[in-house]
Amino acid sequence: MKFWDTSAIVPLCVDEPTTATLRRLADEDPGLVVWWSTRTECISALARRGRERQIKPTTAARARLVLRDLVAVWSEILPSETVRQRTERLLTVHALRSADALQLAAALLWSQGRTSAHGFVCLDDRLRAAAERDGFDILPS
């Protein structure tokens, strides 16, 4: 299992330059783990692409169906006081936005602090750097 940031989930739903690589990773890892707000963040990203006419309405509809299928099989790390406390600590150590710090805090909770044995799938450079500093195996490489 690997922890998947929203930035790596969206290309599973719509074709982007990284889609093939991320689909291979997903095929190798049928037990995706995500943060509780990932579904909402994906809907936001897809809606924004639609509003900005980066994708057609039919592509957006197909992407939402793919997302629905992913939601049915992934595991979510739920909000908790522990996640909040870790997030607040991460914000003092890393140059992250709060949403990204929540993602990393959820991954730390999931890995039970044993980050070197766990993959972190992410495309956001700042979040990748923070997760790497915390010891995660960053994917794609």
| pLDDT tens digits for range 11-59 | 999 999 999 999 999 999 878 999 999 999 999 999 999 999 999 999 9
Give me the pLDDT at residue 45, please. Answer: 97
CATH of the domain at 52: 3.40.50.1010
Contact 84, 95 (CB under 8 A): no
- C-alpha 99/C-alpha 112 separation (Å) is 20
Give me the pLDDT at residue 69, please. Answer: 96
At 17, is the secondary structure helix, strand, or coil? coil
Number of domains in the chain: 1
Q: Express each pLDDT in 93-135 by its tens digit.
A: 999 999 999 999 999 999 998 999 899 999 999 999 999 999 9
- Look up the domain containing 7 and give its range: 2-139
If we measure between CA atoms, which residue out of 12, 24, 4 comes closest to residue 138?
A: 4
Q: Which two tokens stand for residue 35?
A: 């943060």
Single pTM value for the model: 0.95
Residue 31: CA atoms inside 13 Å, Cβ hemisphere, count? 6
